[in-house]
């Protein structure tokens, strides 16, 4: 479990309205949802980015959206982390993930950047030992189509899973702030796929019954 030290939450994306709905900007979308849900302070310009602050269960949380463009995200992260003296273990980065199906969420600590330009930049500035929340956007199936895929907007049809996912991430964020990544992932999955109530399940033995058929009683 994490200590009560300051948590720096970073959402990755590209600045400007032209990128706002890009798949690559789902990290921005996730932290915006957290800031709204938990009524953090309005974003202000700090550390080459937009910074918001709040408190979750007694823990100070600072939320940063680098405005440096994706491939220079580490410059904003190292500036904020250095000013507040936040070690990599207390930095949590939300980012898009090609290698997860759209709508899936996984947490990890440390490891490689898998070619993600935002993570590559953060690695170069603070090393790999920070926490990540990987938000699946799916893979286009061909490496030559990756750039077009990540820089393409989410469709209106994607909102059927994207909006509930962002809500679930915000709802369950206190678990991340407490350092319980496993409970966060389980909670998000449960929110998006709640167990069916008994009344929603087909009655036993009824699956193959034809209209008008009885149990022979």
Do 28 and 82 form a contact (C-beta atoms < 8 A)?
Answer: no
What is the pLDDT at residue 150? 87
What is the pLDDT at residue 44? 96
Specify burial of residue 8 (Cβ count, 10 A radius: 0-12, 13-18, 19+). buried
Percent of the chain with pLDDT over 70: 88
Q: Residue 2: is its pLDDT beyond 80?
A: no
Looking at per-residue confidence, does 109 or 94 come out higher? 94
What does DSSP assign to residue 5? S
- Residue 203: band (very low, low, confident or very high) from pLDDT cuts 50, 70, 90: low
Query: Which residues participate in catalysis according to the annotation?
Result: 24
pTM: 0.85
The class level of CATH for 7-195 reads: alpha beta
Do 135 and 27 form a contact (C-beta atoms < 8 A)?
Answer: yes
Give domain limits for the chain: 7-195
């Amino acid at each position: 479990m994490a200590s009560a030290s300051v948590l720096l939450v970073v959402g990755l994306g590209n600045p400007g309205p032209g990128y706002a709905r890009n798949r690559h900007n789902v990290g921005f979308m996730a932290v915006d949802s957290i800031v709204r849900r938990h009524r953090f302070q309005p974003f202000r310009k700090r550390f080459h980015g937009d910074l918001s602050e709040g408190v979750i269960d007694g823990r100070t949380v600072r939320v940063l959206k680098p405005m440096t463009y994706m491939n220079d995200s580490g410059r904003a992260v190292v500036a904020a982390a250095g000013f507040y003296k936040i070690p990599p273990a207390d930095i949590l980065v939300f980012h898009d993930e090609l290698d997860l199906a759209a709508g899936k969420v996984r947490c990890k600590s440390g490891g490689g950047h898998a070619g993600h330009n935002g993570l590559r930049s953060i690695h170069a500035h603070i090393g790999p030992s920070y926490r990540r929340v990987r938000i699946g956007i799916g893979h286009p199936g061909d490496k030559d189509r990756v750039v077009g895929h990540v820089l393409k907007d989410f469709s209106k049809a994607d909102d059927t899973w994207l909006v509930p996912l962002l809500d679930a991430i915000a709802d369950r964020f206190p678990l991340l702030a407490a350092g319980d990544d496993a409970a966060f992932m389980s909670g998000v999955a449960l929110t998006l796929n709640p167990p069916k109530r008994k009344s929603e399940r087909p009655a036993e033995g009824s699956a193959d019954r034809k209209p008008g058929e009885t149990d022979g009683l």
